[in-house]
Amino acid sequence: MPAALLPSTRHSFRPDSSSWDAMRIQDLPYSDPGVPDARSGPRFLWWLGRNQLGVQAKALAWGLLHFTSVSALPFCVGLAVQAVVDRSAAHLVRAGALLVVCCLGNALGDTFLHRAAVTNWITAAARVQQLLARQATHLGAGLTRRVAAGEVVAVSTGDVEKIGWFVEAVSRFTAAALTLVLVSVGLMVYQPALGAVVAVGLPLLAIAVLPLLPRATRRADLQREKAGRATELASDTVAGLRVLRGIGGEELFLARYRRASQEVRQAAVRSARMWSLISAIQVMLPGLLLIAVVWHGVQLARAGRVTVGELVTVYSSVMVLTYPLRYFEEIAMAYSFSRPSATRTAGVLSLTRSTETAGSGTTDEVPRGDLHDPLTGLIAPSGRLTAVVCGDPDAAGRLAERLGGHPAERSTSARLGGVPLDELSLTSARTAVLVQDKDPVLLSGSLRSLLDVPRSGAVDAEDALTAAQCGDVLEALAQASVGAEDPMDVRITERGRSLSGGQRQRLALARSLVTDPEVLVLDEPTSAVDSHTEERIAAGVRDLRSGRTTVVFTSSPLVLELADRVVLVQEDAVAAVGTHRELLGAEPAYRAVVTRETDGEPAALAAQVAGAGMPGAGASTSSRQTAEAAPGRDDAAGTLGPHRDGRDGLPEAGHAPGRRRPVEDDEGALARSAPPDARTAPRGLRHEIEENA
Amino acid sequence: MIGVAPPAYDPAAPTTASTLPVGAPATVRAYVAELFRRHRRAFLLLVAVNTVAVLASMAGPWLLGDLVERVSDRSAPWHPGLTVTLFLLALLVQAVFVRQVRLRGAMLGERMLADLREDFLVRSVGLPPGVLERAGTGDLLSRITTDIDRLGNAMREAVPQLAIGVVWAVLLLGGLVVTAPPLAAAVLLALPVLVAGCRWYFRRAPSAYRAEAAGYASVAAALAETVDAGRTVEAHRLGDRRRALSDRRIREWTAWERYTLWLRSVLFPVINVTHVTVLGSVLMVGGVFVLHGWIGVGRMTTGALIAQMLVDPVGLILRWYDELQVAQVSLARLVGVRDIEPDAGDASAEPGGRDVHADTVHFGYREGVDVLREVSLRVPPGTRMALVGPSGAGKSTLGRLLAGIYAPRAGRITLGGAELSRMPAEVVRSHVALVNQEHHVFVGSLRDNLLLALPPARLGPSTESHGAAADGDGGVGTGSAAGGVEAELWAALAAVDADGWARALPEGLDTEVGSGGTALTPAQAQQIALARLVLADPHTLVLDEATSLLDPRAARHLERSLARVLDGRTVVAIAHRLHTAHDADVIAVVENGRISELGGHDELVTAGGPYAALWRSWHG
């Protein structure tokens, strides 16, 4: 990451030294998009414009050529008419020659103005997109937790274009405005009496419709909003179409969509009313100016004070000048659109990470050794497969995040081989420990590119896919694609939406395995996988990771069975340690979480409820970690009481621990044939307690 | 710079195959003809007001020409007051009609667009469930978003503007002919350049703009993905790669921008030269004619001014022509849905019982590759059957066959003696429902999310069932006669344990849920799906890993709700966790497309087969 992006230097934005060198489209993307002045929207716009002074100047020059050439056409017309009035063939030819010159100037000016203006648009848009991409990766994991995620995307999809529009329009407008001044002055000199009328009229024309524009844009916005809503409804209906076709309600949703669609139509027509009024005014006002010119001019011509050619020139000029006049409206709209966009963009670009990512450690060497979380007392011995059973999935998620270092919320750092991970640089910490969270995202692209992540190189893709039992995923991918022979080349759509939940999980697991980090932390990696496959995955992961440190958060016996060491964490503290078999025998709380079964005795149940609440109460001391775990335990025990109290006031109080036998006959999906005690859920109760606290 | 070759990589090229058909040219033509017939009046009205507006706009040049004539020939009679009055009048007419042109154009465009998108959705919701299941909704989704969007521009702007432009240009040329026929001939001098230039341009432009737009969209898409996957990107240290990817997307996009810019760099001079050639030839040819005394100087002035006015309609036509070309492709994709055979169900096929029976069923998604082979099953009413087996063994496929979504390739699946695949979807779903991980919560009120499950007959007479009347955006069935329905909805929510949180919602059943509304947890979404089942009340349910995406805590809670829903129904559950299987009456182990074991839990455990082995390792 360029040092410039670090928060400490964010305000020392630097101008682009090459801002006067004309940027060419083929040189994009920028090797370095620079450090933006993101203190405010207008400052950001200014920064963007300043960075492309060269092309802006070019656009202005070509624009002047274009607009003056266009404005010279009426002069040619006037000359030609005057030539025939004067019956001079030579003058007619001269007018024709001048016309050819104007034509060349016009064609060159128009084309190159367009090229320069569009180049400004594209370079500005590319620069902002690059800045956004850098900002997004800089914020990283912090993004998903904030509103900012939506903002970044909104800026990228909508605001960039509006900013680009203004940047593009500004030089075109300047050229048009300069030309209008030039022509007004020219007409005054050429034919003072008529020119004065035009010079007074033109500014009026330029500003006449401006007061209507905000209203018109508001209506257009409303229409866009309604259209967005209708599109949302339509895509939502289509997304849930299988549900609709399976259960019913097609007519209900069609009716709803028709209403939304008709609302869009009405809003669009309302908006068109305003725009059509503007069009009418744009016809009316120049028309009135024309009439004034004609009225005044004809009198003058009759009196011999102007020639016929001059009259035609002035008339024709007014017709032509409505063209540069349009750019007054454009710039007004472009600015009113781009200002809020620029403000939002500046806001996004000035976000910073809440925690320092540079790391204070001097060495970037990746540490080795046992992974230790002082907060819970969890220890994952180096080179072993440790399974963590954690009653509360949210607590498990937090613990997993902490094990990787640099969590979103500051806390006591996890240590790897005694080195606090938070003190390493972000990159080093992530290199040492890979945490695969509950919802790993599959990035779109071919399967090959999905597995092409920074890695040790010791594990190849094939082995990882085999260990994660991805055989059927490959088959499904091969089936879905038409042309690709190699399933590795098949494209996976965004977030792997074309795959089932289980398939996605297995591919994500394969990706983590191929990385082959020193420590791999997996949070419920097989929760959506069927039992048959889960068992094979557990064996595959264990074999592939032999000699490396692996931590798996799970409650599946099939995985726990294969772990070297199983740790039960409850209330943010280690409650018991052992193998799956040992804990199953010695820890009722563990058994409750893992097998969903109990001894069936009400008394035992009660004990489990208590055991679950106060870790250690029923477990053998030999299998417990001591010193570091103790504070956590005390904490947990101390807060349990209020939890229960809070629980009693709630509607579902019938399920409260006070009712010692929380057995419901209707509990469990296929409960009928099972013994009633098979589905008692002391663990579930505890969750409800936590949930309601 | 001599030219720019089109970039090799085309971001608009389809990355996934279209899973649904694209309309044949004949279908598209038929649809366009139908659309035009439906809106003929509006179209003719647009042409009429446009004609008036253009005619009025030509009054100015005419009157000025007339004045020029009189000024240069001092003997002619002189009525400047009358001329100016006529001028004002023409201007007024022009302004009023220009306004009408824009308005009528928008109204026509909007109406056609609304028709188009509504037609498409009507067709989409009529698609057979099997087609949807196989094709997925991705292709449909891209059609209703991207293609409707592209057509939006075409319908809203291109069609009316082109109509206006063509009428305008033709009338101006007509005006020129009336003014002085030789001047009209002079205009034709410019035509070859314009035609050659436009042919060159329009042969390249549409696909180039499509690629450019797709390229730009993929710049934003890459960023959106980086943002969405923030945690994953950081965990796997993919930051550099994501930045490089964004940069690459920008390079791909800008390469197309550069190419289209080159295309315009050719088109612009062509248009400019055309305009000036038109003006120049009118002036020169006209000048020579005037010098020879064949036409008056006023005519020439009028002609030159009209020639100058030609800039606008020609620009309009060129501006919107390629939009229409792009729209053609999108239109073909939209009307393609019409080519799918609607549900070929036999409405008279009514089951005579609740017995589900599969008889030596074979099924495959592709020709010659069977996913299921020789599957025979009998599920008596009220049975709870679990399907277990490894991923890809065919459990889900069997579930979909039993739910009547697919028809077997060979063999029969019957419900109460009637063949399931021959019943229309509306009949099937009153008997059998498939519950899967896809617990979609629709954008809209909680009420609408539940009402969809009620058959129209049970909605009651006062509530709209066919979309005729509507009171506001909120939804349906809020009248007093709908009190029964209201109670039914609450009862359904209560049955799945969801009434607690539903009552706590700020506006009860009227609370907006779904994307953008009040956020529901996955478990709550699943409860809504279950409440729908209670309302739809089918006697047989196929559960496909309904709770597998939920975290264990939510799953446990939900299973309690599910149990109530299942009570008294026939259930085929695709078991994901073995405890589900353990609780079933019958377990069918599916391996490699066949049923390898069939029997009760204890029976299978005793038998010592693959199920027993799995159970032992799971249970410990």
Shared domain for B578 and B615, answered yes or no, is yes
- Other CB atoms closer than 10 Å to residue B13's CB: what's the count? 10
Task: List phi, psi (to 5°) of B172.
Answer: -65, -45
Query: What H or E segment, with its residue span, contains residue B206?
Result: helix B191-228
Q: Of A244, A257, A441, which has the smallest distance from its Cβ to B452's Cβ?
A: A244
Do the domain assignments include residue B35? yes
What is the structure's pLDDT at A691? 35
Q: Are residues B262 and B218 in the same domain?
A: yes
Per-residue pLDDT band at A144 (split at 50, 70, 90) = low
Indicate whether A19 and A141 sit together in one domain: yes
Contact A14, A151 (CB under 8 A): no
Interface touch B551/A283, C-beta < 8 Å: no
Answer whether residue B532 is part of any domain.
yes
Closest chain B C-alpha to A524 CA, distance in angstroms = 9
Contact B619 A99 (CB under 8 A): no
The residues of chain B scoring below 70 in pLDDT are 1-2, 13-19, 74, 76, 135-138, 342-347, 437-438, 457-483, 515-516, 546-556, 618-620
Cα–Cα distance, A488 to A463 (Å, whole number) = 14
pLDDT band at A564 (very low <50, low <70, confident <90, very high): very high
Cβ under 8 Å to B: A residues 624-653: 651-652
Token code pair at residue A128 = 């902002």
Look at residue A500 and give its three-state secondary structure. Answer: coil
Contact between chains at B389 and A26 (C-beta distance less than 8 A): no
**Does residue B533 form part of some domain?**
yes
Structural domain total, chain B: 3
Q: Taking Cα atoms as reference points, which of A52, A9, A8 lies closest to residue A27?
A: A52
State which residues form the domain around B44.
19-180+320-340
Q: How far apart are CA B421 and CA B407, in angstroms?
A: 5
User: What is the phi/psi pair of residue B286, to 5°?
Assistant: -60, -45
Within a domain: A395: no
Q: Quick one: tokens of A604? A: 């035992």
- Asked if residue B145 and residue B260 are part of one domain, the reply reads no
Nearest Cα of chain B lies from the Cα of A544 at a distance, in angstroms, of 19
Residues B285 and B204 in one domain: yes
Q: Burial letters for B267-296: b for 16+ Cβ neighbours within 10 Å, e otherwise?
A: bbbbbbbbbbbbbbbbbbbbbbbbeeeebb
Q: Do residues A57 and A104 share a domain? A: yes
Tokens of A558: 């099939």
Nearest CA in chain B to A33: B247
Query: Do B34 and B133 belong together in one domain?
Result: yes
ipTM for this model: 0.82
Does the structure show a pLDDT above 50 at A4? no
CB contact under 8 A, A1 and B536: no
Instruction: Indicate the residue type of B47.
Output: V
**Domain end: B278, B294, B310, which one?**
B294
Q: Are residues B112 and B124 in the same domain?
A: yes
Which segment, A139-143, A644-648, A669-673, B156-160, is predicted with the most confidence on average? Answer: B156-160
- The tens digit of pLDDT for each residue in A596-641 reads 643 333 333 333 333 333 333 333 333 333 333 333 333 333 333 3
Q: What is the pLDDT of residue B136?
A: 66
- Yes or no: say if B217 and B12 are a contact pair by the CB < 8 Å rule: no
Q: Are residues A263 and A177 in the same domain?
A: no
Query: Amino acid identity of B73?
Result: D
Q: Hey, is the C-beta of A458 within 8 angstroms of any chain B C-beta?
A: no
Q: Closest Cα to residue B197, out of A114, A122, A73, A107?
A: A107
- Among all chains, which residue has been given the structure tokens 């279209």? B18
Q: Are B531 and B448 in contact (CB under 8 A)?
A: no
- Flag if A250 and B126 touch (Cβ within 8 Å): yes
**A156 and A274 in a common domain:** no
DSSP A362: S
The answer to the question of residue A135 being in a domain is: yes
**Contact between B238 and A245 using a beta-carbon 8 Å cutoff:** no
Q: What is the pLDDT of residues A365-406, one digit of tens each?
A: 788 889 999 999 999 999 999 999 987 777 888 899 999 988
**Per the domain annotation, does B315 fall within a domain?**
no
A22 at interface of B, judged by CB pairs closer than 8 A: no
CA-based nearest residue in chain A for residue B576 = A530
Q: Do B545 and A671 touch (CB under 8 A)?
A: no
- Say whether B68 and A503 touch across the interface (CB within 8 A): no
Cβ–Cβ contact B334 with A under 8 A? no
User: DSSP letter string over A404-452?
Assistant: TSS-SS--SPPEETTEEGGGS-HHHHHHHEEEE-SSPPPPSEEHHHHH-
Peptide bond into B25 cis (omega under 30): no
The domain boundary, picked from A354, A371, A389, lies at: A354
Residue A111 and residue A180 in one domain: yes
* Interface-testing mutation among B18, B52, B107, B110, with chain A (most A C-beta atoms within 10 A): B110
Provide, as residue numbers in chain B, all residues whose Cβ is less than 8 Å from the Cβ of A304.
none
Q: What is the pLDDT of residue B190?
A: 85
Q: Which chain B residues are closer than 8 Å to A288 by Cβ?
A: 91
Nearest-neighbour CA in chain B from A627: distance (Å): 30
Contact B19/A at CB under 8 A: no
Chain A contacts in chain B segment 84-103 (CB below 8 A)? 84, 87-88, 91-92, 94-96, 98-103
Mean pLDDT of A165-179: 92
DSSP annotation string for A534-565:
HHHHHHHHHHHTTTSEEEEE---HHHHTT-SE
What was the pLDDT predicted at A339? 86
Closest to B120 measured CA to CA, from A261, A227, A249: A261
Q: Are residues A176 and A41 in the same domain?
A: yes
A89 Cβ under 8 Å from any chain B Cβ: yes
Residue B474 confidence (pLDDT): 42
How far, rounded to the nearest angstrom, does the alpha carbon of residue A171 sit from its chain's CA centroid? Answer: 31
Percent of chain B with pLDDT over 90: 13
Whether A180 is in a domain gets the answer yes
Residue B573 belongs to a domain with what CATH number?
3.40.50.300
On whether both B499 and B546 belong to a single domain, the answer is yes
A32 to chain B, any CB pair closer than 8 A? The answer is no
* H or E segment and range at residue B379: strand B372-379
Token pair in block for residue A321? 């000048």
Q: Does B237 touch chain A (CB under 8 A)?
A: yes
A95 and A21 within one domain:
yes
Report residue B105: phi and psi, to 5°.
-60, -45
Does some domain include residue B459? Answer: no
Q: Is residue A161 part of a domain?
A: yes
How does pLDDT run across B79-124, given as a tens digit for each residue?
778 888 888 999 999 999 999 988 998 899 889 889 888 988 888 8
Looking at the structure, tell me whether residues B229 and B377 fall in a common domain.
Answer: no
User: Distance, in angstroms, between B391 CA and closest chain A CA?
Assistant: 7
Of residues A525, A517, A529, the one with CA closest to residue A473 = A529
Q: Are residues A266 and A130 in the same domain?
A: no
**The pLDDT of residue A494:** 67
Calculate the CA B68 to chain-centre distance: 57
Give the count of domains, chain A: 2
Q: How confident is the model at residue A235 (pLDDT cuts 50, 70, 90)?
A: confident
Average pLDDT for residues A489-511, to the nearest whole number? Answer: 80
Q: What is the pLDDT of residue B45?
A: 92
- Of A95, A285, A303, A313, nearest in space to A186 by CA: A313
Domain match, B106 and B219 both: no
- The yes-or-no verdict on residue A481 having pLDDT over 80 is no
Q: Do A246 and B122 touch (CB under 8 A)?
A: no
Residue A435 lies in a domain: no
Per-residue model confidence (pLDDT) at position A633 = 34
The size of the A-B interface in CB pairs under 8 A is: 559
Which domain covers residue A31, as residue numbers? 1-191+327-354
Does one domain contain both B409 and B535?
yes
Domain-embedded: residue B537: yes
CB A277 within 8 A of CB B99: yes
Look at residue A658 in the predicted model and tell me its pLDDT: 31
Cα distances (angstroms) measured from residue B160 to each of A276, B98, B102, B104: 13, 13, 9, 8
Per residue in A197-225, pLDDT tens?
Answer: 888 888 888 888 888 888 888 888 888 88
DSSP H stretches of helix in A10-88: 41-50, 53-85
* Domain end among B285, B311, B340: B340
As a whole number, mean pLDDT of residues A240-269 equals 87
With CA atoms as reference, report the closest residue to A571 among A527, A644, A631. Answer: A631
Contacts of B280 in chain A (CB under 8 A): 96, 99-100, 103
Examine the domain organization and report whether B187 and B96 are in the same domain. Answer: no
Question: Considering only residues 538 to 557 of chain B, which have any Cβ-Cβ distance to chain A shorter than 8 Å?
Answer: 543, 545, 547-549, 551-553, 556-557
Nearest in space to A537 (alpha carbons), one of A603, A478, A466: A466
Residue A422 lies in a domain: no
Question: What whole-number distance in Å separates Cα of residue A93 and Cα of residue A79?
Answer: 10
Which residues of chain A are within 8 Å of residue B254 when distances are taken between CB atoms? 25-26, 28-29, 122, 126
State whether B528 and B582 are in the same domain.
Answer: yes
Greater confidence (A300 vs A359) lies with A300
Residue B544 falls inside a structural domain: yes
Residues B84-93 as b/e (b if ≥16 CB within 10 A, e otherwise) read bebbeebbeb
Answer whether residue A126 is part of any domain.
Answer: yes
Whether B304 is in a domain gets the answer no
Q: Is residue A47 part of a domain?
A: yes
Residue B187 distance to chain A (closest CA, Å)? 15
A61 falls in which pLDDT band (50, 70, 90)? very high
Looking at per-residue pLDDT, the higher value among B403 and A652 belongs to B403
Phi/psi of residue A475, each to 5°?
Answer: -65, -45
Q: Which helix H or strand E contains B356, and what residues bound it?
A: strand B356-363
Assign residue B109 the CATH number of its domain: 1.20.1560.10
Q: What per-residue confidence (pLDDT) applies to A531? A: 79
- Whether B579 contacts chain A with CB within 8 A: yes
Please tell me whether residues A53 and A167 are part of one structural domain: yes
